[in-house]
């Protein structure tokens, strides 16, 4: 499927302007909408490629730059220098993430290329947490969280506010997100009788989906992609 891409700027109420990368099918429509939440390293080449892959599958996909409050437009951090991105990472509070998600969601709903009742989200690493937050604040059709750190120990109360079904994807070798944290989250979702799917890849580490990181695990990434597409299917 042919796609078209563009960079846009969104106005987040009470905040700075937020750049975003958009990819969508070049023809047809309207299509389902999808918010793609970045890793902690920005809307970099990897995230743009993932956004384009979703567009090739028939989605109007948009990746907002969540670091817009603290970093220049187009910021891309180094996978080898996490300390340098910490100030930007820490600025993405739950409240800031919710505001950014709501602004992006509203843009999709108002876009003539998008089916307004079929908007979902997917996020990776930091974006996995933001996808969880977005699903608690917005009437998303579904949400996917890849190794979203900080969900369980941070705001488990958001489990009761989840709107759409939730797909949780983890690497069992992940030292950043412990089995106890994963279990606490699924227990909270179960207690609230939420619809969710919890998947752990036993031989994968944190960041295994990204082919630009040392942790990349091709087979797990391929299977997780197929599962994500099926989960998001309208």
Q: Which of 68, 88, 206, 210 is catalytic?
A: 206
Please identify which residue in the block is written with the tokens 């384009």.
52
With 0-12 / 13-18 / 19 or more C-beta atoms within 10 angstroms meaning exposed / middle / buried, residue 50 is: buried
The per-residue b/e assignment along 17-44, b for 16 or more CB within 10 angstroms, e otherwise, is ebbbbbbbbeeeeebbbbbbbbbbbbbb
Give the C-alpha distances (Å, rounded to integers) separating 194 from 38, 163, 186: 25, 8, 9
Tell me the C-alpha distance between 16 and 70, whole Å: 9
Catalytic status, residue 125: yes
Q: In what order do the strands lie in the sheet with 196-201?
A: 3-11, 17-25, 60-64, 31-37, 114-124, 143-146, 166-171, 196-201
Which one of the listed residues 31, 46, 88, 125 is annotated catalytic? 125
Quick one: DSSP state of residue 65? -
Known active-site residue 210: no
- 174 part of the active site: yes
Q: Which of 174, 181, 205, 210 is catalytic?
A: 174
Q: Which residues are catalytic?
A: 125, 174, 206
């Amino acid at each position: 499927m042919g796609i078209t891409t563009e960079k846009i700027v969104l106005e987040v109420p009470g905040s700075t302007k937020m750049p975003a990368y958009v990819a969508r099918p070049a023809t047809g429509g309207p299509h389902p909408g999808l918010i793609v939440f970045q890793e902690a390293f920005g809307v970099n080449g990897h995230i743009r490629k993932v956004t384009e892959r979703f567009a090739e599958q028939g989605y109007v996909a948009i990746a907002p730059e969540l670091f817009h409050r603290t970093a220049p437009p187009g910021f891309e951090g180094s996978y080898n220098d996490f300390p340098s991105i910490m100030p930007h990472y820490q600025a993405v509070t739950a409240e800031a993430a919710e505001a950014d998600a709501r602004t992006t969601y509203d843009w999709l709903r108002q876009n003539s290329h998008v089916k307004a009742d079929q908007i979902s989200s997917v996020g990776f690493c930091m974006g996995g947490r933001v996808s969880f937050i977005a699903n608690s604040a917005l009437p998303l059709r579904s949400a996917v969280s890849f190794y979203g750190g900080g969900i369980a120990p941070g705001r488990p109360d958001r489990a009761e506010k989840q709107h759409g079904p939730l797909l949780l994807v983890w690497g069992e070798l992940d030292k950043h997100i412990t089995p106890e944290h994963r279990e606490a989250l699924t227990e909270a979702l179960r207690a609230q009788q939420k619809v969710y799917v919890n998947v752990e890849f036993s031989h994968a580490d944190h960041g295994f989906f990204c082919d630009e990181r040392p942790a990349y695990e091709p087979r797990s990434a391929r299977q997780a992609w197929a599962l994500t597409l099926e989960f998001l299917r309208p």
